[in-house]
Amino acid sequence: MEKQLVDIRTFIGNLPVLDIAETWTLDPNTGLYRTETIKKHRTKKEQEVITLTKATDKHPETAQLVTVDKLAGYWSEIKYSGALSRPIKNSLLENVEKLIRETKSARERANSLPAVNEEDYGQRIFNLLLAPIKK
């Protein structure tokens, strides 16, 4: 049982937690954590011609291509996560640690007592399993 509890502790220890850089709230509709809506914009690069000098009767006009960022649109972003919050994960780990300590203590107490077997539990379980055959 102790080994299984250690495996459970390892499993819980590997569970993902929410990113602390975000503000998370529990969404009652989905049961997941979600962030606030973040409004973002996107730009695209476009090339424009700018005139460096105007044309005169002796010189042609000089121009240059430059790249300009133009607004392409807006969108909203919401992040969802099924990860645990850090306090909940810590609480789960504490519970498993307590159970491991109590299991070790119970094993040590049981090992210090003499073995008394008043009933043969194995035979009773075996009889229960084979009851349909014995009829």
Instruction: Quote the pLDDT of residue 1.
Output: 81
Identify the residue whose tokens are 């602390």.
20
Looking at the 3D structure of the chain, how many domains does it have? 2
Q: Residue 87 in contact with residue 20, Cβ under 8 Å?
A: no
Question: φ and ψ at 91, to 5 degrees?
Answer: -65, -40
- Say if 51 falls within a structural domain: yes
Same-domain status, 69 and 42: yes
Same-domain status, 29 and 89: yes
Same-domain status, 8 and 67: no
pTM here? 0.59
- Say if 93 falls within a structural domain: yes
Instruction: Quote the pLDDT of residue 133.
Output: 62
* Strand (E) or helix (H) holding 133: helix 131-134
Q: What distance in Å separates the CA atoms of residue 80 and residue 26, rounded to the nearest whole number? A: 10
Same-domain status, 30 and 92: yes
Same-domain status, 70 and 48: yes
- Say if 121 falls within a structural domain: no
Range of the domain at 98: 1-34+84-111
Same-domain status, 69 and 88: no
Q: Residue 83 in contact with residue 18, Cβ under 8 Å?
A: yes
Q: Residue 42 in contact with residue 75, Cβ under 8 Å?
A: yes
Q: Residue 33 in contact with residue 83, Cβ under 8 Å?
A: yes
pLDDT tens digits in sequence order for the chain, 135 residues long: 889 999 999 999 999 999 999 999 999 999 899 999 999 999 999 999 888 888 888 888 888 999 999 999 999 999 999 999 899 899 999 999 999 999 999 889 988 888 776 667 677 776 776 677 665
